[in-house]
Amino acid sequence: MFRKKEIPVYLFFGFLEGGKTSFIIETMKEGQFRDGNRTVYIMCEEGIEEVDEDLLLENKFKVVTIGSQDEITMERFMEIDRKMKPDRVLIEYNGMWDQDTVIEALPENWLVGEGIAAVDASTYQDHLNNMKMLMLNQFTYADLILFNRCTSDMDLAGFKRTARAKNRRAQVIFEMTDGTINNNIKEELPYNIDSPVIEIEDDDFGIWYIDAFDHLDNYVGKRVKFKGQVYFPKKREKDVFVPGRFAMTCCAADIQFVGFQCRYEKTGELKEKEFCMVTATVRAATMPEVDGPVPFLVADTVENADKPVEEVVMFN
């Protein structure tokens, strides 16, 4: 019989040895699961670190092992729900499996409470170089991205930029090798943010796009100049368009258009898909589908421009 009780589900993504199990163990030791609720812990791979049986017992954890992606089905999860009657579910997902599979398999009463991606920073760049799509897909459903085993000589700003390019809503945290958290990651920008007009080179659009959303306060009231392609959203005010670029986060199949809403009194004279050089002032605006303020441009001039040498933007 199908239970109507809503069950929070916590999803842990990442490759083997990425730190998923360690994160769960530390959370258990901190007592965050010692609230008397029954937890079903679904393990989809055998990690390097084993969970102590006494720790599982203290936290009222019941372990279910799934060894094949073929077992990630709604029927399997509903069977677990009927037999074990959990109050919450933790799924430590296999980093080599398709993340969409587990999301689509969740029963109607299993509601995602939080997605967490754990990343071994010492191997992150190698994974980007050799299996970029698989690596970045770990971030798709993450609310929190934790880079662990970080050192000061790593390009942590670059790591954050690639992660945020894949998932702008996720919080990114860096845990150093001594266990401390470093959230003061400053990026050396390829343009002068203190110039009267901040000029964005064609190759730097992706860096500016991410930084403008992450650090909007640094840009509000300042003028920027950049090249973008004209796009008209279906729902817009008549004097608003979106200048932007097509960007690739991980592979050719993941190309998408990114840009900024921009108010311009002569928007009606623009032609969609044409490239233009925009000079505008950055403002902050709110949108119903986005938490917090976002960049909004008010253009002084919009002039015809040649295509950039590389039409697709990269974030790293």
Question: Tens digits of per-residue pLDDT, 250-288?
Answer: 666 678 899 999 999 999 999 999 999 999 999 999 877
Q: Which residue has the higher pLDDT, 249 or 124?
A: 124
pLDDT of residue 252: 61
Read off the pLDDT of residues 135-189 as tens digits, 9 standing for 90 and up.
Answer: 999 999 999 999 999 999 999 988 998 898 888 888 999 999 999 998 877 777 8
- Integer Cα distance of 93 and 82 in angstroms: 21
- Give, as one character, the DSSP assignment of residue 156: H
pLDDT of residue 48: 61
pLDDT band at residue 24, thresholds of 50, 70 and 90? Answer: very high
- Integer Cα distance of 43 and 216 in angstroms: 40
Alpha helix stretches (DSSP H) within the chain? 20-29, 53-58, 74-84, 99-105, 121-137, 156-166, 205-214
pLDDT of residue 60: 93
Other beta carbons within 10 Å of 128: 18
Amino acid identity at 310: E
- Integer Cα distance of 224 and 276 in angstroms: 14
Look at residues 218, 280, 231 and name the one whose alpha carbon lies nearest to residue 258.
231
pLDDT of residue 16: 86
Beta bridge partners of 119: 147
Read off the pLDDT of residues 46-83 as tens digits, 9 standing for 90 and up.
Answer: 766 678 899 999 999 999 999 999 999 999 999 999 99
pLDDT > 70? residue 236:
yes
Mean pLDDT within 285-294: 80
Q: Which two tokens stand for residue 99?
A: 């993340």
Look at residues 311, 281, 289 and name the one whose alpha carbon lies nearest to residue 233.
289
Q: Which domains does the chain carry?
A: 7-176 (3.40.50.300), 197-314 (2.40.50.140)
- Helices and strands in the chain: count of H runs, count of E runs: 7, 15
pLDDT > 80? residue 125:
yes
**What value, to the nearest 5°, has the Cα angle with vertex 92 and ends 88 and 95?**
150
pLDDT of residue 50: 79
Q: Are 45 and 69 spatial neighbours (Cβ–Cβ below 8 Å)?
A: no
Burial 147-173, CB ≥16 within 10 A → b, else e: bbbbeeebebebbbbbbbbbbeebebb
Mean pLDDT within 18-24: 91
What residues contact 19, with CB distance under 8 A and at least 6 apart?
118, 119, 120, 146, 148, 149
Look at residues 85, 77, 97, 35 and name the one whose alpha carbon lies nearest to residue 60.
35
pLDDT > 70? residue 3:
no
Percentage above 90 pLDDT, the chain: 74
Look at residues 143, 75, 59, 142 and name the one whose alpha carbon lies nearest to residue 110.
75
Q: Which two tokens stand for residue 74?
A: 């709604």
Tell me whether residue 3 is exposed, middle or buried, using C-beta atoms within 10 angstroms of its C-beta: 0 to 12, 13 to 18, 19 or more: middle
